[in-house]
């Protein structure tokens, strides 16, 4: 029987085929993962490292499942540590905040019922507040390819666990881009479903009205395999919506930014050239192209941190911060406390809501049956550079992502080649909430057009 080398990229498709052909077993795969996780321990990927004692009950549970009827049978996955796994502490990146849930979050429960194996809990920007992967008292998560660079956040550990071959897929969350930016920086697919399509029950809220559970994978195919298991209305979740599983179809057109885009950080020039190359590839997809004014997307994005919507974060976590002085990561507390500004009164919230509703109407008119393509992030930095300038670097990361959930869009981040050696570049495709089918098909078409991507 073949053993799985722990350096191999893990995918749902390849593992399922290996199990079917009796080439390996889930136990052998898990043992290899544990070895690899220990080898990468200094990369700060995990808060709860993979250990056989905790994983064994889930391996034993596979004996009660029919592999043919269990679409994720034996597939190892990671869980961002703001998502509940029963009997394992949920820290949200803050040890003092930790609690031990007695039941799984809805998404985790559905995955386990389909045969997936939870491997451990991954590191994150504390309270899912950040896009950089350096805001954790559990250590800065290293980039999967170049250790001096940031991994992206807040779902840092989840993305790197997939990129380093320690799991086949990993759950993240996304409020401002946390399920997409780490995908772009580590050469992965990051799938962000429409708001409410995947239940958020059992997820520590950042901005509850905007939070999504997401998935990191190596392919659109694997992302949709996970989607097919976890999607569905949860009548115990007040944010849940009944949005059907997408059946991929191509859009009537692709929308691209009309004006040149700005890029930031030490690799700004490389990012600009990579974006221009990606645009050329998009233009060759044999789909109509429309060049649009994207300014209102930026105006909408500004409402998230430079407007009263940041107060929703304080509403969720302010009482904990006040009751536990000097325990929250300093830059995280700075961001959270910005939600207490006097100008963010009740009237300002409604003013922002009304402005946002107008932006949503613009998006609906503009996108229709179309897909918008943007860079996944505005740049990247070394971990040292972000440490020295945590606020503006984080803001520049989110230039082309923060509008997404505010405008009720779905999105998928996909690899788009390299900006420099071992420096992945990614694009994100956006569509209206009911049009997830369009981003699935167009993302798949783009990946096939560029011949895929390998970052080894």
Q: Which residues pair with 255 in a beta bridge?
A: 290, 372
Q: Residues with Cβ < 8 Å from 330, sequence gap 6 or more?
A: none
Q: Give me the helix-helix angle, 26-39 and 52-61, nearest 10°.
A: 160
Question: For residue 63, is the peptide bond before it cis, meaning its omega torsion is within 30 degrees of 0?
Answer: no
C-alpha closest to that of 438 among 369, 390, 377: 369
Q: Residues with Cβ < 8 Å from 411, sequence gap 6 or more?
A: 180, 192, 404, 428, 429, 430, 431, 439
Helix residue ranges, H only, 251-402? 268-283, 295-305, 311-323, 330-337, 346-367, 383-388, 390-397
Rounded CA separation 402/388 (Å): 23
> Exactly one of 109, 151, 178, 377 is catalytic; which is it?
178
The DSSP 8-state label assigned to residue 64 in this structure reads G
> Exactly one of 80, 121, 192, 201 is catalytic; which is it?
80
By residue count, the chain amounts to 456
CB 278 within 8 A of CB 243: no
Reply yes or no on whether 154 is catalytic. yes
C-alpha closest to that of 329 among 152, 155, 127, 181: 127
Reply yes or no on whether 281 is catalytic. no
Work out the number of other CB atoms within 10 angstroms of the CB of residue 452.
10
Rounded CA separation 269/228 (Å): 39
The DSSP 8-state label assigned to residue 62 in this structure reads G
> Exactly one of 16, 105, 151, 154 is catalytic; which is it?
154
Rounded CA separation 198/212 (Å): 7
Q: Which two tokens stand for residue 3?
A: 């053993």
Phi, psi (5° rounding) for residue 321?
Answer: -60, -45
Q: What is the DSSP string of 228-244?
A: HHH-S--TT-TT----P
Q: Residues with Cβ < 8 Å from 240, sequence gap 6 or more?
A: 196, 199, 200, 201, 233, 234
CB 185 within 8 A of CB 143: yes
Q: Give me the helix-helix angle, 106-113 and 220-230, nearest 10°.
A: 100
Please report where in the chains the tokens 């897929």 appear, as a residue: 169
Reply yes or no on whether 80 is catalytic. yes
Which positions are annotated as active-site residues? 80, 154, 178
């Amino acid at each position: 029987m073949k053993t799985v080398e722990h350096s191999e990229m893990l995918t749902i498709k390849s593992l399922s085929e290996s199990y079917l052909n009796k080439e390996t077993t889930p136990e052998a795969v898990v043992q290899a993962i544990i070895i690899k996780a220990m080898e990468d321990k200094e990369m700060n990927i995990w808060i709860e490292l993979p250990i056989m004692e905790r994983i064994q009950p889930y391996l034993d549970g596979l004996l009660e499942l029919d592999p043919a009827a269990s679409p994720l049978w034996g597939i190892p996955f990671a869980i961002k540590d703001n998502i509940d796994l029963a009997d394992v502490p949920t820290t949200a990146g803050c040890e003092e905040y930790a609690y031990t849930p007695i039941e799984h979050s809805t998404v985790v429960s559905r995955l386990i019922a389909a045969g997936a194996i939870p491997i451990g809990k991954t590191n994150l920007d504390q309270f899912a507040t950040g896009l950089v992967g350096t805001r954790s008292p559990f250590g800065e998560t290293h980039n999967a390819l170049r250790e001096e660079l940031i991994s992206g956040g807040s779902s840092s550990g989840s993305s790197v666990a997939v990129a380093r071959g320690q799991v086949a897929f990993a759950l993240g969350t996304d409020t401002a881009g946390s399920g997409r930016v780490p995908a772009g920086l580590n050469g992965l697919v990051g799938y962000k479903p429409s708001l409410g399509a995947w239940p958020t029950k059992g997820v520590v809220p950042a901005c509850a009205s905007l939070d999504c559970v997401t998935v990191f994978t190596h392919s659109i195919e694997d992302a949709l395999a996970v989607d097919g298991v976890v999607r569905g209305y949860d009548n115990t979740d007040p944010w849940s919506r009944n949005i059907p599983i997408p059946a991929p179809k191509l859009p009537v057109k692709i929308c691209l930014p009309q004006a040149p885009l700005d890029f930031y950080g030490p690799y700004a020039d490389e990012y600009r050239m990579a974006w221009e190359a990606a645009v050329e590839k998009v233009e060759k997809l044999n789909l109509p192209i429309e060049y649009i004014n994207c300014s209102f997307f930026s105006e909408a994005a500004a409402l998230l941190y430079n407007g009263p919507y940041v107060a929703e974060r304080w509403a969720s976590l302010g009482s904990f911060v006040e009751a536990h002085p000097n325990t929250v990561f300093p830059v995280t507390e700075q961001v959270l406390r910005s939600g207490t500004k006097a100008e963010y009164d009740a009237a300002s919230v409604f003013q922002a809501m009304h402005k946002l509703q107008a932006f949503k109407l613009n998006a609906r008119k503009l996108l229709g049956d179309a897909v918008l393509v943007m860079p996944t992030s505005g740049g990247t930095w070394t971990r040292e550079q972000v440490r020295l300038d945590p606020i503006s670097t984080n803001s520049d990361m989110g230039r082309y992502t923060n509008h997404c959930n505010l405008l009720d869009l779905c999105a998928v981040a996909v690899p788009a080649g390299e900006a420099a050696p071992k420096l992945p570049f990614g694009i994100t495709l956006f569509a209206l909430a009911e049009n997830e089918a369009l981003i699935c098909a167009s993302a798949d078409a783009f990946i096939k057009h560029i011949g895929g991507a390998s970052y080894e």
